[in-house]
Structure 1
Amino acid sequence: MMEDMNLEFLKRLAKGLVEHFGSHCEVVIHDLKSHNLQKTIIAIENGHVTNRKIGDGASHIVLDTLNHQEEELEDAIGYLTKTHDGRVLKSSSIYIRDEKGEPQYIFCINYDMTQLTIAESAIKSLLNLESTPCTEAEEIPTNVNDLLDDLIEESVKRIGKPVALMSKEDKISCIRFLNDAGAFLITKSGDKISTYFGISKYSIYNYIDIKR
């Protein structure tokens, strides 16, 4: 009963925030209890900001949460993210815990700053001020398949060369990054990753087990 009351309050809070901040503000509630990465979004307001809806899957922060110990988790406030079409968002993610301190939900706020950054750039140009480069933002995926693609792409970027030119050590580094990022929590991720890197699923487990 208390859990239902807490969730109802969070949904009301989400509606209040988007009413206050307008159509550029999205609020998302992810459910951590089911451990179903395909369907973590149980409430969303102004989903047009990231093109997501109720029943859609995990984002990077959900995957990261499930891949770490509860005591390591901390709220993240005012970090940058981006959408697939390149819009820049200011995001905050807050863990909602039960009476035992275990995280039950993630309450996420995403504010689309694209128009504001365009206006800021125009103002700086008029004032002849130097533009400050924007910090690289993490992309918000619309489903877990996109999330896995993002992680694979990031693993390749860290090596700095295409898979065709990677040595065994390079591939080991990629697999370790993906493991640390929680990629293997995604259903059937092993099949996609092994095919992408041209290795067997057995090799993946060997790479993870090799001592650093």
Structure 2
Amino acid sequence: MNRDDLTLESLVMIAHGIARHFGNDCEVCIHDLQADDLEHTICYIINGHVSGRKLGDGASKIVLETLEALNKGENVSDHLGYRTHTSDGRILKSSTVFLKDESGKYRFVLGINHDMTSFINVQSTLNNILENFDAKDEDVYGQIPLSVNDLLENLIEQSVKLVGKTPTLMTKDEKIRAIKFLQDAGAFLITRSGDKISQFFGISKFTLYSYIEQAKTVDD
């Protein structure tokens, strides 16, 4: 058994402990950051009914952002107690922890998604459980996607919301701003995302690549 196997085995034990502690409404999943295909990063999951995901499903937005940050040589940090939601509107309290292998490289992501919907209805008696539950983070991490295609759709919708106009009404600079958002979010790591994004914004692939280069000089 190699060291990665030992690390994963330890994470699986931790995942079972968390799920057992919080019950069936708490999903715990493990993403493999070295997976060959972003469509299949989940290498272990418990209580997948919470988000509707299963073993072998793809990356979430936060995992995609992490991969993009690592590609740029940037540091990443854990995200704890932020708010997400499912496709059917249930509200989750989520935490994401990044783990390194023996060589010091980030290898696995431990994700916790606890369905808080029933707790919210009796929030006054459950303040300790909901401590640090920050609703403003929902705009950052949004809906947990069921697939990488869903994730790309969500990112494109967020880029439009950021600009505040439909693509047909956007100026060149506004499209560059939207594309910078998509680039920073790691959207272009998704296979064939360039085709969909260029079609959505009504520009050619050549123009898209030009906008990507121009976006690198745009301040946030």
Give the corresponding residue for 2:96: 93
Mapping for residues 102-113 of structure 1, pairs under 5 Å? 102-113=105-116
Give the corresponding residue for 1:181: 185
Give 1:156's match in structure 2, choosing from 153, 160, 167.
160
Q: How many residues align?
A: 203
Work out the CA distance in 2 between the residues paired with 1:181 and 1:136.
15
Using the TM superposition, give the Cα deviation of residue 135 of structure 1 relative to its aligned residue in structure 2, in angstroms. Answer: 2.8
Matched residue of 1:135: which SS? helix
- Does residue 147 of the first structure (1) align with residue 148 of the second (2)? no
Using the TM superposition, give the Cα deviation of residue 36 of structure 1 relative to its aligned residue in structure 2, in angstroms. Answer: 1.5
What code does the residue aligned with 1:189 have? Answer: S
Structure showing greater radius of gyration is 1
Ranges in structure 1 where 5+ consecutive residues have no aligned partner = 124-132
TM-score (norm 2): 0.87
What code does the residue aligned with 1:56 have? Answer: D
What code does the residue aligned with 2:6 have? Answer: M
TM-score (norm 1): 0.90
Write the deviation string for residues 99-148 of structure 1: whole angstroms up to 9, x where unpaired. 22111100111111011112227x7xxxxxxxxx9435121111100100
Work out the CA distance in 2 between the residues paired with 1:134 and 1:55.
29
Work out the CA distance in 1 between the residues paired with 2:82 and 2:168.
34
- Does residue 196 of the first structure (1) align with residue 200 of the second (2)? yes
Write the deviation string for residues 172-206 of structure 1: whole angstroms up to 9, x where unpaired. 11111111111000000001001111100110110
> How big is the alpha-carbon RMSD for the aligned residues of Structure 1 and Structure 2?
1.8
Matched residue of 1:104: which SS? strand
Residues 71, 161 of structure 1: CA spacing in aligned structure 2 closer, same or farther, 3 A cutoff? closer
Matched residue of 1:110: which SS? strand
Work out the CA distance in 1 between the residues paired with 2:9 and 2:103.
20
Q: Which runs of 4+ in 1 moved over 4 A?
A: none
Work out the CA distance in 1 between the residues paired with 2:121 and 2:115.
12
Write the deviation string for residues 43-71 of structure 1: whole angstroms up to 9, x where unpaired. 00000000000010000111011101365
2:83–2:135: 8 Å Cα contact kept in structure 1?
Answer: no
Matched residue of 1:38: which SS? helix
Residues 82, 174 of structure 1: CA spacing in aligned structure 2 closer, same or farther, 3 A cutoff? same
Mapping for residues 11-30 of structure 1, pairs under 5 Å? 11-30=12-31
Matched residue of 2:121: which SS? helix
Matched residue of 1:184: which SS? helix
Matched residue of 2:56: which SS? coil
Ranges in structure 2 where 5+ consecutive residues have no aligned partner = 126-133
